[in-house]
Structure formats: structure tokens, C-alpha cells
């Protein structure tokens, strides 16, 4: 299991409800604020790189770690990826836990396992931009 705690053991309706929760979290005010803070955090990184499976390591961060830095929130303890408390992360970042898990999943897993940290940065930044709504 990964830090997103995603599993393939959901039945069809559970999966539909989960994807709805993620979509709703992305579209909401708090989700949009997180996406804007992710972009600001990415742009403030000294090097356009994102690590996988941890919040931070050797001075580098994952996508959510960039949001922590941008918001000047102390990063969670440097724990093994299975010990991440997604509920606490959601509370720290004031977003739905579904969005925390989605960003972790996109940052860490999927078909991108062999990408470089620079590729991960570009992919995650493009995903955030794609999901940002125009501000009124």
C-alpha cells in the first residue's frame, strides 16, 4: 500500500462515489486554493523537481510538500510512506482527504514510476494547471 492508500478492491459504486468526492474537492473553494498554492510552491522551488513517496528528502519535496512550504506550515515528520496520516495532512492543508490522496497518488504512482523528478514536476504542474478554474 502507498501513502495514498488507494486500493483496487473498491466495488463499482464505491469507485464512482470516490471519484465524485475527488472531483468535488478539486472544484471546491478549498481545493482551488490548494491548486493555486501548489503552483506557487512549485514556482518557488530552487530546482524544478518533485520527489515521490515522501514529503521531503535531502532538501527536496513532493507536490504536497511544496504546498506546505508555500503556506509556511511545518512539514509532517519524515515518515515512511505507509505511515503518512492523510487525515492530518488534509487538516493541515484545509482540504478534503480525497484530494490529499489524489495528489499523493498522482505524485507517487500510476504509470509514471520510472520518470525523473524533473518529469514528475512537469507532469504535476500540468495537472494542476488543467484543474484550475479561472478566478472571478
Residue 73 lies in a domain: yes
Residue 59 lies in a domain: yes
Distance CA 84, CA 78 (A): 9
pLDDT at 16: 80
Residue 38 lies in a domain: yes
pLDDT at 136: 58
pLDDT at 44: 96
Residue 75 lies in a domain: yes
pLDDT at 1: 43
Residue 7 lies in a domain: no
Residue 1 lies in a domain: no
Count structural domains, the chain.
1
Residue 48 lies in a domain: yes
Domain carrying residue 126: 28-131
pTM value is 0.85
Tens digit of each residue's pLDDT, the chain (136 residues)? 455 455 566 678 788 888 888 999 999 999 999 999 999 999 999 999 999 888 888 889 999 999 999 999 988 776 655 667 889 999 999 999 999 999 999 998 856 667 899 999 999 999 999 999 987 5
Q: What is the DSSP letter of 22?
A: H
The DSSP annotation for 35-65 comes to HHHHHHHHHHSSSS---SSSSEETTEE-HHH
Residue 110 lies in a domain: yes
Q: What is the end-to-end Cα distance of the chain in Å, rounded?
A: 40
**Locus of grid cell 495537472:** 127
Amino acid at each position: 500500500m502507498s501513502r495514498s492508500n488507494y486500493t483496487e478492491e473498491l466495488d463499482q459504486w464505491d469507485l464512482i462515489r470516490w471519484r465524485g468526492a475527488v472531483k468535488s474537492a478539486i472544484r471546491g473553494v478549498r481545493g482551488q486554493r490548494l491548486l493555486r498554492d501548489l503552483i506557487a510552491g512549485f514556482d518557488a522551488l530552487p530546482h524544478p523537481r518533485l520527489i515521490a513517496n515522501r514529503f521531503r528528502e535531502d532538501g527536496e519535496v513532493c507536490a504536497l510538500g511544496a504546498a506546505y512550504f508555500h503556506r509556511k506550515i511545518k512539514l509532517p515528520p519524515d515518515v515512511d510512506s505507509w505511515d503518512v496520516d492523510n487525515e492530518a495532512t488534509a487538516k493541515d492543508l484545509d482540504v478534503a482527504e480525497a484530494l490529499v490522496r489524489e495528489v499523493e497518488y498522482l505524485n507517487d504512482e500510476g504509470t509514471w514510476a520510472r520518470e525523473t523528478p524533473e518529469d514528475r514536476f512537469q507532469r504535476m504542474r500540468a495537472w494542476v494547471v488543467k484543474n484550475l478554474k479561472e478566478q472571478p
